[in-house]
Amino acid sequence: MSAEQCWKVTLPCTKAEGEAIAGDIGALAQLDEPPVLMTSEPDPTRPDDWRLDAYFETKPDKASLAMLRALVPSAAGRTLAVETVPQQDWLILSQAGLEPIRAGRFFVHTAAHADEVPEDAVAFQIEAGRAFGTGQHETTTGCLMMLDRMRRQGARFADVLDLGTGTGLLAFAALNLWPRARAIASDIDPVSIEVTLENAQANGVALGGGRGELGLVVADGMNDALLKAAAPYDLIIANILAGPLIEMAPAIADALAPGGTLILAGLLDHQAEPVARAYRRQRLRLADRIDRGDWPTLRLRKRQMW
């Protein structure tokens, strides 16, 4: 097959399955070249009947197809539609045409909507691109709303970590709310840090290690010397996935200062209690919650002492 082509696999799915895939692509994320997954609602008159399209760089093997099927149990027994299509940047196309969103004081938009910024809004221009976190997903919106709510309630923070930053958006918002803070945006994916750098420059976010500046770090969770050296943080934002959040609970809690605040997102409603339980074991308590559809955003506080 030509390098100008890729493989497309199509399966029917339910609305619930499609929304879950937006936050977790399961075992497919562990592949050397994970597919780009796009879900859609082909027929508005049948709102629960969605479609999943998966785009692979190379012909998917049986194991990859089995992982794909595991994401949509409702399609058990259905025939996979597999075809070759012209090669394109499917991640960018999947985010193209994004409508702006308003989350508290924040307005997140692409260049196409730059003339629509409300006068009372703090605007960030985040283009469709190679990393998660354009503000469109309910998890990102929920985090923006939680940050805005905390600022309105008088919260103050001096050392901030945006763990798994994606596009840098949540780190930008935190620095806007607490402009004298030191902030770090980290991600396991070097591409995300490249995108965050580009977005910081486009939005006038100062880079560096001082107060009012944003440091950028490629790191696997909290397992990084720079992140450990900058700890403890009085605010950590982690919009990731439920599994990694539970796995990293001891390390994240250890990096949080006594009395510090932790914002968790990237989890579905039924995952909120297991995630909160993992952090209760680390002496954090649930202080607030915002629900956006099936996607909760949790705010936790670390106890001052046992």
| Binding-site annotation: residue ranges for S-adenosyl-L-methionine | 140, 164, 187, 239
User: How far are the Cα atoms of 22, 102, 208 from residue 286, in angstroms, in the given order?
Assistant: 25, 25, 32
**Residue list for the binding site:** 140, 164, 187, 239
What is the distance between the alpha carbons of residues 41 and 187, in angstroms, rounded to a whole number?
A: 31
Closest to 246 measured CA to CA, from 278, 221, 284, 281: 278
Containing 170, the helix (H) or strand (E) segment is helix 169-177
What is the distance between the alpha carbons of residues 279 and 241, in angstroms, rounded to a whole number?
A: 14
Containing 20, the helix (H) or strand (E) segment is helix 15-21
Q: Is 33 helix (H, G, I), strand (E, B) or coil?
A: coil
Closest to 299 measured CA to CA, from 257, 253, 264, 248: 264
Residue with tokens 């760089």: 57
- What's the distance, CA 44 to chain centroid? 27
How deeply is 279 buried, as exposed, middle or buried, from its count of CB atoms within 10 A (0-12, 13-18, 19+)?
buried
Q: Is 294 in contact with 268 (CB distance < 8 Å)? A: yes
Q: Is 43 in contact with 83 (CB distance < 8 Å)? A: no
DSSP assignment of 276-292: HHHHHTTTEEEEEEEEE
- Structure tokens, 247: 């796995």
